Amino acid sequence: MKLAKTVMSLTLGLALSASVYADGAAKFAQGGCTACHQPAVDTAGPSLKAISAAYKGNEAALISFLAGKGAPKLATGRFAGQFETLMKPQVANGSAKWTAAERIDVAKHIMKK
């Protein structure tokens, strides 16, 4: 009985952690982020691959950025000056209003690319 309970809670734990990732992707799409961010190619905004490379080993800074703290790292080159016009409103009206857990899920979704 004790073993059955352990197995059940392990299975539940796995199902939950799998759904956390799925939620990050869903939140990213539902937040309108996919309009400007594709997985591997730069479009209106940098690709998720480029973002995850810029934040490699520093997921905490990405989570802070989504909360509206910290300077953008990718507002250079063809994206120079676009933080203020294109990206900042997405943080102010979007990700900064999400729950902390949602920002973590989305950061994990981005860092997987």
Task: Give the residues lining the site for ligand HEC (CB under 6 A).
Answer: 31-33, 35-37, 44-46, 51, 62, 65-66, 72-75, 79, 82-83, 86-87, 90, 94-95, 106
Locate 70 and state its tokens: 């910290």
CB of 41 to ligand HEC, least distance (A): 14
CB of 72 to ligand HEC, least distance (A): 3
Q: How far apart are CA 40 and CA 50, in angstroms?
A: 8
CB of 80 to ligand HEC, least distance (A): 8
Give the three-class secondary structure for 82: helix
Sign of the CA dihedral with 71 first, then 72, 75, and 76 last: positive
